Chain A
Amino acid sequence: MSAVVHGVIALVPDACTSCMICVRECPTWCITVESHAEQVSEPGARRPRTVSVLDRFAIDFGLCMYCGICIDVCPFDALEWAPTIDHSSASRDGLVHDTERLSGWRMHE
């Protein structure tokens, strides 16, 4: 395993099940997950399945301790380290990055 630069935390949106484990384990509560439930009907199934659909995943890097607990606890490997270090901001709000930016930081597609 090569050395991983702990620059920033990236998101794999397709892997995220909106289970909220990262949100609850985060020491600084810097993760926001918004999701809704959808009914999925599959042919031959007796009843539709209910699945969570991720609407928004945001990390407030102003609060983030870069401890990586969210990465460790994610059962679906939906979070990973990425080497980006250039994410300083002129405003406090600019430190909050959501799904699109977080997934854009991924090293491997």
Chain B
Amino acid sequence: MSTLPDHLRVYRVAAEPGTRVIVASVGLACCAMEVESAVRLGLLRTDAGDAESAGRTILLVAGTVTDALAPAVNAILATLPPDTLVVSFGACAGTGGPYWDAPTVTKGIDQLAPVAQYIPGCPPRPDALVAGLLALTVEPSR
């Protein structure tokens, strides 16, 4: 596998130039706007998306995952390197959030794959995203 799938957005955390953190963003709902906002603010930089040159791949799931959409998230994860870390961005991805009582919403993406870091918020602020991603890179033992 030389490149990541075209439909994924790939970024690098600007504050951590030494460590190449690739964020394959799965933007599903309003949380995706905060991820885009982090790009606008220069906290994330758009990356070429070359998987082989990536030190570590982080799959950032931002938004509401429904049970109908869950296989698509799994399919994306299957295309990424095996050591990919899954980061949950926002209340919906973490626990179902406001849809905690909805029958069609997946109550947290940890039902699909182990989550390395939960970033809380509805939506989380762009700087909370970076703080969460950096917390992950500081403690790589997980």
Beta-carbon contact of B120 and A62 below 8 Å: yes
Would you give the 0/1 interface string for A65-107, flagging 1 where the beta carbon is closer than 8 Å to chain B? 1110000000000000000011111111011000000000000
B5 within 8 A of A: no
Would you give the 0/1 interface string for B7-44, flagging 1 where the beta carbon is closer than 8 Å to chain A? 00000000000000000000000000000000000000
Contacting B128 at CB < 8 Å: which of A7, A28, A29, A65?
A7
Beta-carbon contact of A88 and B108 below 8 Å: no
Chain A interface, DSSP helix/strand/loop, else mixed? loop
Task: Determine which residue in A5, A61, A85 has the highest number of CB atoms from chain B within 10 A of its CB, and name it.
Answer: A85
The residues of B that contact A61 with a CB separation of less than 8 Å are 120-121
Beta-carbon contact of B118 and A62 below 8 Å: yes
Contacting A66 at CB < 8 Å: which of B96, B119, B122?
B122
- Give bound CA distance, A54 to B120, whole Å: 26
The residues of A that contact B100 with a CB separation of less than 8 Å are 28-29, 63
Beta-carbon contact of B118 and A65 below 8 Å: no
Give the distance to chain B from A44, nearest Cβ to Cβ, in Å. Answer: 49
- Give bound CA distance, A64 to B96, whole Å: 10
Contacting B98 at CB < 8 Å: which of A65, A89, A91, A95?
A65
Beta-carbon contact of A95 and B128 below 8 Å: no
* In the complex, number of A-B residue pairs with CB atoms less than 8 Å apart: 73
The residues of B that contact A90 with a CB separation of less than 8 Å are 116-118, 135, 139, 142
Known: A62-B120, A85-B125, A87-B120. A92 touches B94 (CB 8 A): yes
The residues of B that contact A95 with a CB separation of less than 8 Å are 94, 118, 120
- In the complex, residue of chain B having the shortest beta-carbon distance to the beta carbon of A93: B118
B63 within 8 A of A: no
Interface residues on A, range: 20 to 34
The residues of A that contact B108 with a CB separation of less than 8 Å are 62, 92
Task: Determine which residue in A6, A67, A86, A88 has the highest number of CB atoms from chain B within 10 A of its CB, and name it.
Answer: A88
Give the distance to chain A from B36, nearest Cβ to Cβ, in Å. Answer: 18
The residues of A that contact B49 with a CB separation of less than 8 Å are none
The residues of A that contact B96 with a CB separation of less than 8 Å are 63
Would you give the 0/1 interface string for B106-142, flagging 1 where the beta carbon is closer than 8 Å to chain A? 0010100001111111101101100110010001001
Contacting B97 at CB < 8 Å: which of A28, A85, A87?
A28
Give the distance to chain B from A64, nearest Cβ to Cβ, in Å. Answer: 7
B95 within 8 A of A: yes
